[in-house]
Amino acid sequence: MAVSCPIDFDARALRVEVSKIYSRVATEPDAEFHFHRGPDYAARLLGYDREQLAGLPERSTSSFAGVSNPLAIDDIRAGERILDIGCGAGMDLLLAALRVGPTGQAIGVDMTPEMLESTRQSAEDLGLPNVHLKFGDAEDLPLDEESIDVVISNGVLNLTTDKEKAFSEIARVLKPGGRLLLGDIAVAEELSLDIRNDIDLWTG
């Protein structure tokens, strides 16, 4: 299976368009989008605990646009250092922060400033000083080598054009024996070059 996606357009242009879409998700979560969002979707289709979601600020759950429940893959332990790649409005990140507790850290990386600000406000509302936020993307993580116990990512890596670089970055920041809890979208067959080069299809 190929981990890179050959394209013939400026990858920076794709990042700009993706950021525009998710900026709207952060500020207008009830607007019309092509993908599912919100806490009811997360609980009904992805298996999140409704009671846990109800304990989070609405801004973090209403803008949730993940495709899976990576926190259900394995336990998050007290004291661990967690990285959420493409943390968005912070639903997974905040749940992880509550699990690692005050002796752990939950670090969110996102390339959309509006999402980072939304997560910052939610972490403040919950009184979670163990949440740390960084601007960046999966292909160039702003973290030191072997500094993370668990990487989580939910519906984000499909939007990277260089998936080999993204996975290389994940391997770089994970400690020896670290874990990757990943949920994402995959296609069952090779896409044509015309489809791969259509930014509108990448962003929906």
Asked whether residue 4 is assigned to any structural domain, the reply reads no
Q: What is the per-residue pLDDT across 91-136, written as a single tens digit (0 to 9) for each?
A: 999 999 999 999 999 999 999 999 999 999 999 999 999 999 999 9
Query: For the chain, how many structural domains are there in total?
Result: 1
The boundaries of the domain holding residue 142 are 11-203
Whether residue 184 contacts residue 156, with contact meaning beta carbons closer than 8 Å, is answered with: yes
pLDDT interval class at 8 (50, 70, 90): low
CATH code for the domain in which residue 91 is found: 3.40.50.150
Asked whether residue 3 is assigned to any structural domain, the reply reads no
DSSP-assigned letters across all residues of 79-140: T-EEEEET-TTSHHHHHHHHHH-TTSEEEEEES-HHHHHHHHHHHHHHT-TTEEEEE-BTTB
Asked whether residue 180 is assigned to any structural domain, the reply reads yes
Asked whether residue 176 is assigned to any structural domain, the reply reads yes
Q: What is the per-residue pLDDT across 19-40, written as a single tens digit (0 to 9) for each?
A: 888 889 999 988 888 888 999 9
Mean predicted lDDT score pLDDT of the chain: 92
Residue 33 is encoded by which pair of tokens? Answer: 């989008």
Total residues found in the chain within this entry: 204
